[in-house]
Structure 1
Amino acid sequence: MLYVLYAVCVFFSVCSSEAKVKLPANVVVPAVFAFGDSIVDQGNNNNIGTPIKCNFPPYGKDLMDGTPTGRFSNAKTPPDLLAEELGIKGLVPAYLDPNLRDEDLKTGVSFASGGCGYDPLTASSMELFKLGARRIGLMGIPPIGCLPMQRTLLGGIIARGCVEEHNEAAQLANTKMAVAIDLLSKTLPKSKLVFIDIYDLVTDFIVNHKKYGFEEVKKGCCGSGNIEVGMLCNKYSATCEDDTKYLFWDSFHPTEKGYRVLVDQIIKNNMNKIFKTTV
């Protein structure tokens, strides 16, 4: 079993039998599991009594039939894209999805909750994981939770150059997480844990945005792009004409293209380290 953790407060177990990524013949890993905040919340907050939701337009406008699912973007997010690239399934569901089946759990779900660490009602992702683990006999997987304020500041703070101490706090949290992963690895000798810090990668997206195919990185596609997130990005907000030109969908969260470029770079830069293979 392989566990991959990267610094947007996400925990993954990933694999595939028909992956787009070329994996070694002996690699068999069945699922994608995600922990964290809104970056990887696939719709858990839809069913939690918190105002931190996005199960309304224009969120999800480019996903399936345009029905909002609770993903904080215009379409797919990192769990979906990793599962897709690794040939597992096209969409990773939320654990609290009322239509979730036991079969869905076997190939992965998200236990993440948008606003984790801000709103007390969103801090139960580990309890959700324990319930899910019992359903499929996965209690051997070590629970790793959300680190509040640990987004690597994917949104406007980097893009607009505000408050340097927030950037320093994110970098410090990444350093602490790397140490925690090293300690955890020593207690799980039969597992492989890999820490991938995306802080510098996302910063490079912003500084060298044209190299990655982005035209706008200083504001989001929804509304004015400056403060709109969650309820402030709604059906009354204007949206940009072409979200594929934008790194950010709202003031915090990337577009599907932003996430796709991010996942592509993670795979390109780390698959050899993880699987001892090339992509």
Structure 2
Amino acid sequence: MRRNSNSWSLFGVITVYAMMSCCEGRIVLPPNVTVPAVFAFGDSIVDQGANNHVATLIKCNFQPYGKDLHGFGPTGRFSNGKTPPDFIASELGVRELIPAYLDSNLTPEDLVTGVSFASGGCGYDPQTAQIVLAISLSQQLDQFREYIGKLKAAVGEEKAKFILENSLFLVVAGSDDLANTYFTLGIRRAQYDVNSYADLMVSSACNFIEDIYRLGARRIAVFGAPPIGCLPAQRTLKGGISRFCSEEQNEAAQLVNSKLAPALASIRQRLPQSRPVYINIYDPLLDLIQHPYNHGFEVSDKGCCGSGAIEVVLLCNRWSRMCRDDSKYVFWDSYHPTESAYKIIVDQLLQESVKYFE
């Protein structure tokens, strides 16, 4: 994958200073904050192509996915273009695009600026990944251990430790647990009520965060659950003939978030130098959905691909009807936002959250 000319050299360090010009569209960071790399774990929101390399039907390495990712095309990103790891890495001056760890073209230079271990269909609940043969969080953790060995071989123990301790780690999961495993398929409903399932998810999330902390991660941005009841597919499946947002699902997402935020605060108090930060994705996305015109969008209840009501992954393909202008849509398919929506959300989240990673 092509590297940004502003990326690290193999032995370099990018230090991003606070007085960046706002007119250049770059994020304003606290003085002397160094962000050498961006890493991602979790599900399809931050899957940069890992599922291309595993035996799952949850793939998107075909048209029209990636149609706006100029020079690359379908890479396995679940969108029409860039995804949150790409925008975050670009805004922080790290590199243009974050590659998947399983990318066969990965180079030693790519190792030092970060990779994504995420896999579409993964969740905090181990059963979520098993259902669709995605790469589970425990497997992503194994890959991270393998990655650390490669990083040390490339830059040495001391530099590898510096990279891990100062990089930004994204943990994005939970949507598939709630939308698919719990509500749509109902696999866990016989075992757990919503409250106890939320406890299971948060406990798993905390265990995972502590695992990557023990391997060297310190700055950890943990995305909360989005308003899954307002995703186009969930409107179709659970919203009745009028396709209203499913309040039951949105309330479950809010319950998870209400438990996750204090759990992360507890970890921060307990583990020395740890900086796990809860990232509120629920409200920014809900605002785009409820007030699309305020942000330059026109359609927020359907995706750009196909009918927009149900198509995702294999059902969104080169034979699907496409909207005329995907920049006017909040959602690309019936589950994943467009590049335009991601950019607005990421810009807002970085401005609000980066101060917590000093």
TM-score (norm 1): 0.85
In structure 2, the CA distance between the partners of 1:119 and 1:261, relative to structure 1 (3 Å rule), is same
Unaligned runs of 5+ in 2: 1-13, 21-25, 153-159, 179-224
1:12-61 Cα offsets, whole Å, 9 max, x none, are xxx85387212233111211111111011000000011010000000000
Which secondary structure does the structure 1 equivalent of 2:278 belong to? strand
Q: Which one is further off, 17-26 or 55-64?
A: 17-26
The correspondence of residues 263-278 of structure 1 with structure 2, limited to 5 A, is 263-275=346-358
1:152-203 Cα offsets, whole Å, 9 max, x none, are 2272236943432211111122222213312321343223222111111111
Which secondary structure does the structure 2 equivalent of 1:33 belong to? strand
Q: Find the counterpart in structure 2 of residue 107 from structure 1.
A: 113
In structure 2, the CA distance between the partners of 1:267 and 1:168, relative to structure 1 (3 Å rule), is same
Q: Which one is further off, 104-113 or 163-172?
A: 163-172
1:126-170 Cα offsets, whole Å, 9 max, x none, are 222222123224687799684452652272236943432211111
Q: Which one has more relative contact order, counting CA pairs under 8 Å at least 6 apart? A: 1
1:17 aligned partner, one-letter code: V
Looking at secondary structure, tell me which structure has more strand per residue. Answer: 2
Q: Which one is further off, 46-55 or 143-152?
A: 143-152
Q: Find the aligned partners of 2:261 and 2:122 in 1 and give their Cα distance.
A: 20
In structure 2, the CA distance between the partners of 1:184 and 1:63, relative to structure 1 (3 Å rule), is same
2:247 aligned partner, one-letter code: E
Q: Which one is further off, 160-169 or 130-139?
A: 130-139
Q: Find the counterpart in structure 1 of residue 295 from structure 2.
A: 212
Q: Find the counterpart in structure 2 of residue 6 from structure 1.
A: none
Does the alignment pair 1:136 with 2:154?
no
In structure 2, the CA distance between the partners of 1:264 and 1:146, relative to structure 1 (3 Å rule), is closer
Q: CA deviation at 1:211?
A: 1.0
Q: Which one is further off, 175-184 or 91-100?
A: 175-184
Q: Find the counterpart in structure 2 of residue 200 from structure 1.
A: 283
1:222 aligned partner, one-letter code: C
Match for residue 343 of structure 2 among 260, 267, 271: 260
Does the alignment pair 1:47 with 2:47?
no
Aligned residues: 261
1:184 aligned partner, one-letter code: I
Asked if the contact 2:326–2:338 (Cα under 8 Å) also holds between the matched residues in 1, the reply is: yes
Q: Which one is further off, 183-192 or 96-105?
A: 183-192
Which secondary structure does the structure 2 equivalent of 1:247 belong to? strand
Q: Find the counterpart in structure 1 of residue 249 from structure 2.
A: 166
The correspondence of residues 1-279 of structure 1 with structure 2, limited to 5 A, is 17=16, 20-65=26-71, 67-117=73-123, 118-120=128-130, 121-122=133-134, 123=136, 124-137=139-152, 146-147=173-174, 148-149=176-177, 151-152=225-226, 153=228, 155-156=231-232, 157=234, 160-275=243-358
Asked if the contact 1:53–1:230 (Cα under 8 Å) also holds between the matched residues in 2, the reply is: yes
Considering only aligned residues, what root-mean-square deviation do their CA atoms show, in Å? 2.5
Q: Find the counterpart in structure 1 of residue 6 from structure 2.
A: none
Q: Find the aligned partners of 1:73 and 1:214 in 2 and give their Cα distance.
A: 16
Unaligned runs of 5+ in 1: 1-14
Q: Which one is further off, 98-107 or 83-92?
A: 98-107
Q: Find the aligned partners of 1:113 and 1:16 in 2 and give their Cα distance.
A: 30
1:75-115 Cα offsets, whole Å, 9 max, x none, are 00000000011111000000110111232121111111000
1:186-238 Cα offsets, whole Å, 9 max, x none, are 34322322211111111111111111111110100000000000000000001
Q: Which one is further off, 236-245 or 118-127?
A: 118-127
Q: Find the counterpart in structure 2 of residue 9 from structure 1.
A: none
Q: Find the counterpart in structure 1 of residue 23 from structure 2.
A: none
Q: Which one is further off, 157-166 or 214-223?
A: 157-166
Q: Find the aligned partners of 2:286 and 2:177 in 1 and give their Cα distance.
A: 17
Identity score, percent: 50
2:41 aligned partner, one-letter code: F
Q: CA deviation at 1:125?
A: 2.0
- Greater Rg over alpha carbons, structure: 2
Asked if the contact 1:32–1:92 (Cα under 8 Å) also holds between the matched residues in 2, the reply is: yes
Which secondary structure does the structure 1 equivalent of 2:303 belong to? coil
